[in-house]
Amino acid sequence: MISARTGPPLWSILAALVLILIGSLRIAGTYYVFSHTIDEVAHIAAGMQWLDQHKYNYEDQHPPVARVVGALVPYLAGERSHHDPNMYLEGFKLLGWGAHYDRVLALGRSGILLFFWIGSAAVFLWAYRVAGALAGVFALAFFTTLPPILAHSGLITTDMALAAFTTAAVVASLFWVTKPNRARTILLGVLLACAVLSKFSSLVFLPAAWLVMYAWYIFCDRPGLQKIKFEIKQRIPAARRAAVIAAIIIWVGYRFTFGPIAREIPLVGGMRLPAEHMFSGIYDVWHHNKAGHESYLLGKISSSGFWDYFPVILAVKTPAGTLILLIATCAAAIRRRRRELGMALAFASGILLVAMPSQINIGVRHILPIYSAFAVICGVGFALVIKNRSRWRIPVSLAAGLLLIWQVISSIRIHPDYLAYTNELAGSKPENILADSDLDWGQDMDRLADFFARAGVTEAAISTLNSAYGVDLGHQLPKFVPVPNDGPKPGWNAVSVSFLDLNQRPSWAKRIPPTRRIGRTIFLWYVAPVTQRNFPEATPKPARKAD
């Protein structure tokens, strides 16, 4: 482990900044390509309500930080709330039509870059702490080219905020645990609050990750019971201070509200407490998970989730080069009991263990912090291979370098379709494996509108996931009707990939090969109209001459 008193050398900081800049430019390059995804309108509406109306009561399942950041740049550019009581209609009105739609959506998405920068800094510092500056740079090279990270850093959602602040809180805790002084305690409290204000799943992810990380520490160092008791007792006062700081900042995030808690909420129901919407939000998430959410995996649909959902999705959404280096490095870390390197694996394992029983299986985005750990493990593994003085150093270093190059090439080739990225394991038909935000989140409607405009289409049959586009917001689509169930309508027919996966498809859609594909998420069929044949009229008989 690198001493906490030393700092990264200048060359590594400059290299890190270049990698972050390149990643940021790639993310920004997606803003005007993709239409809004299904959740973005709700998030920007709730964030604008917080900023403009000074309240936050549209919906409690999601805390405010990412939403406020997503609405901040449009707000600074002059956008204001329309005061619609419906959150989605409010979002439709904020985005609007045509050039205004493109502009506001891009401005909102630009704010989310903040979380990409925070996540990148956390990954760099974590890898640097474990194995030095070279490890930090390599970890960042992996992190800033991971398609899931690039995808969710370019959308007005809560997922990249969760990844950034959960990772940052864990990195801060690793420094804090070695020396819990005032500055580190304050920083830990701030980052804990930001993680909770990003997404409530952090309340489960962080304790689970810390528990597995501490178990790994015990496995590696074998401290006695007395030492464990002493270490815990020594850090309790500072931990309490961090918790108080986090609680105050969370209350700030909810605008110092103080009100009654719904009676049906266990333990606190009927009480008046600060940040009452946080308690109802946590309850809503719990209730949502208990009720389940329709999800799709490997051709099957379930409302109660799949126990293997997240392992399968990680296997096909993670670049193959990363997977290979990840497995090799983790095997070495476990075999040699590399304590600091194993902490990243323990962090990812803790999150995965508590996520697998979840009944809400709608995207790898829900466990996005795991990719921070993957990047750290791969970066440290690469650096250790290069520093190794064994006779196998050169060939193994070349192999690791080829894996990184493989990832970079895969990431470049998929640009700008990071959201729909799948690796070679998924084959040519990823829709047979996954759906929803792992593939089709309604992001290709701008492309569909552009295609119809170029082709001069005036009428089409359209059944797409993003059904509000062209009706309530976005760009003008041709006059359209639903796609018939008994066969394609003459002319153009557009169907979302998600509809093919979730059995909401027209019955003929998997029998007839599509004419073309828009982006990676919309299939198009063209059926030539049947023209009425014009039969020549019978030749009239010549009039009979008069006698």
Query: What DSSP line would sit under 392-461, residue for residue?
Result: THHHHHHHHHHHHHHHHHHHHHHTT--TT---GGGTT-GGGT--GGGT-SSTTHHHHHHHHHHHT--EEE
Instruction: Give the chain's end-to-end CA distance (angstroms, integer).
Output: 123
428/512 Cα distance (integer angstroms) = 17
Residue 542 confidence (pLDDT): 47
540/547 Cα distance (integer angstroms) = 20
Q: Based on C-alpha coordinates, what's the Rg of the chain? A: 27
Residue 224 confidence (pLDDT): 87
CB 346 within 8 A of CB 364: no
**Tokens at 430, concatenated:** 């990823």
Residue 537 confidence (pLDDT): 46
Identify the bridge partners of residue 300 per DSSP, sorted by sequence position.
297
Residue 539 confidence (pLDDT): 45
Residue-wise pLDDT tens for the chain (547 aa)? Answer: 554 457 899 999 999 999 999 999 999 999 999 999 999 999 999 999 999 999 999 999 999 999 999 999 999 999 999 999 999 999 999 999 999 999 999 999 999 999 999 999 999 999 999 999 999 999 999 999 999 999 999 999 999 999 999 999 999 999 999 999 999 999 999 999 999 999 999 999 999 999 999 999 999 999 989 999 999 999 999 999 999 999 999 999 999 999 998 888 888 888 899 999 999 999 999 999 999 998 999 989 898 999 999 999 999 999 999 999 999 999 988 888 889 999 999 999 999 999 999 999 999 999 999 999 999 999 999 999 888 777 777 888 899 899 999 999 999 999 999 999 999 999 988 988 998 999 999 999 999 999 999 999 999 999 998 999 999 999 999 999 988 888 899 999 999 988 766 656 677 887 888 999 999 999 999 998 876 444 444 444 444 443 3
127: left (phi over 0), alpha (psi -120 to 50) or beta: alpha
Residue 485 confidence (pLDDT): 86
How much is the pTM?
Answer: 0.93
CB 477 within 8 A of CB 451: no
**Residue position matching structure tokens 């998924």:** 426
Residue 509 confidence (pLDDT): 83
Residue 2 confidence (pLDDT): 53
**Residue position matching structure tokens 């704010």:** 111
Residue 503 confidence (pLDDT): 59
CB 44 within 8 A of CB 156: yes
CB 371 within 8 A of CB 147: no
Q: Rounded to the nearest 5 degrees, what angle is found at the Cα of 203, between the Cα atoms of 201 and 207?
A: 120
**Tokens at 291, concatenated:** 């009720």
Instruction: For strands 479-481 and 522-527, give the pairing.
Output: unpaired
- Report how far apart, in Å, the C-alpha atoms of 236 and of each of 182, 229, 243, 300 are: 13, 11, 10, 47
Nearest alpha-carbon partner for 63 in 195, 176, 191, 197? 197
Q: Which helix (H) or strand (E) holds 518?
A: strand 516-518
CB within 8 Å of 99: residues ≥ 6 apart: none
208/346 Cα distance (integer angstroms) = 9
